[in-house]
């Protein structure tokens, strides 16, 4: 017979009025609303303050990817092996703040990918250009905060660039902040906990 983990581990050594069970004190989780988004190595042509972007980031879509399957057929068997990793696109929603340069910073960054006025595409990495100019940010870090707002863990994305921009709907009948939704692509992703 198999014992219940809930009974033997999570509620073990529980004495009413004298102690609390493990389920009551040690199963706290990272909260979805306690996070910061930081950018490192934005193109200098963007001309914004990364602190404005940190303060404006209000929602981050799920982050991750999948490993594609390599299927091998052998007689009556179908076998699977891991193939290439495909990261999923990331979307961050920013508040369109009045006194910061959030909107111009994000729009100018997007224009380094595609400039709708000139038609230039990825102009910061044009052939023959300076080797230290690129449209990609070195790194984007999404920091998970604990209950005292100290960093707990982080997700790092390398080689980040915006591939879509959407300004929120304008509507007289709503009572919400205006936002900017920016889609990002990245080369690599990593997750780790801060060393205490």
The answer, as to whether pTM is greater than 0.75, is: yes
| Dist. CA 32–CA 60, nearest whole Å | 10
Is it true that domain 19-193 has CATH number 2.30.110.20? yes
| Dist. CA 110–CA 180, nearest whole Å | 12
Considering only CA atoms, which of 186, 134, 181 is closest in space to residue 160?
Answer: 186
Where in the chain are the domains? 19-193
Look at residue 130 in the predicted model and tell me its pLDDT.
59
- Strand 151-167 with 179-185, pairing: antiparallel
Look at residue 52 in the predicted model and tell me its pLDDT.
84
Look at residue 73 in the predicted model and tell me its pLDDT.
95
Residues 109/103, Cβ–Cβ less than 8 Å: no
Look at residue 45 in the predicted model and tell me its pLDDT.
80
Look at residue 41 in the predicted model and tell me its pLDDT.
87
**DSSP code per residue over 117-164:** TT--BSGGG-TTS-TT--SSEEEEEEEEE-TTS-EEEEEEEEEEEEEE
Rounded to an integer, what is the distance from CA 67 to the centroid of its chain?
Answer: 19
Look at residue 1 in the predicted model and tell me its pLDDT.
66
The per-residue pLDDT string of the chain (196 residues; one tens digit each, 9 = 90 and over) reads: 677 777 777 777 777 777 777 777 777 888 889 999 999 988 888 877 788 889 899 999 999 999 999 999 999 999 999 999 999 999 999 999 888 888 889 999 999 889 889 888 887 776 655 556 688 888 999 999 988 889 999 999 999 999 999 999 999 998 999 999 999 999 999 999 987 5
């Amino acid at each position: 017979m198999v014992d219940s983990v809930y009974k033997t581990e999570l509620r073990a050594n529980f004495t009413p009025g004298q102690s609390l069970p493990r389920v009551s004190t040690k199963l706290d989780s990272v909260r979805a609303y306690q996070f910061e988004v930081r950018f490192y190595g934005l193109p200098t042509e963007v001309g914004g303050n990364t602190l404005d972007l940190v303060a404006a980031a209000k929602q981050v879509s799920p982050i991750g990817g999948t490993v594609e399957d390599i299927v091998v057929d052998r007689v009556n068997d179908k076998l699977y092996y891991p193939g290439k990793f495909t990261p999923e696109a990331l979307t961050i929603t920013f508040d369109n703040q009045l006194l910061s340069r959030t909107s111009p910073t994000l729009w100018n960054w997007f224009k380094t990918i595609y400039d709708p006025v000139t038609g230039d595409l990825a102009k910061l990495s044009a052939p023959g250009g300076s080797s230290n100019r690129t449209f990609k940010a070195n790194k984007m870090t999404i920091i998970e905060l604990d209950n005292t707002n100290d960093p707990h863990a982080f997700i790092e994305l390398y080689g980040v660039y915006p591939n879509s921009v959407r300004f929120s709907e304008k509507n007289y009948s709503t009572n919400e902040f205006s936002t900017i939704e920016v889609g990002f692509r990245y080369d690599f992703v990593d997750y780790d906990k801060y060393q205490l």
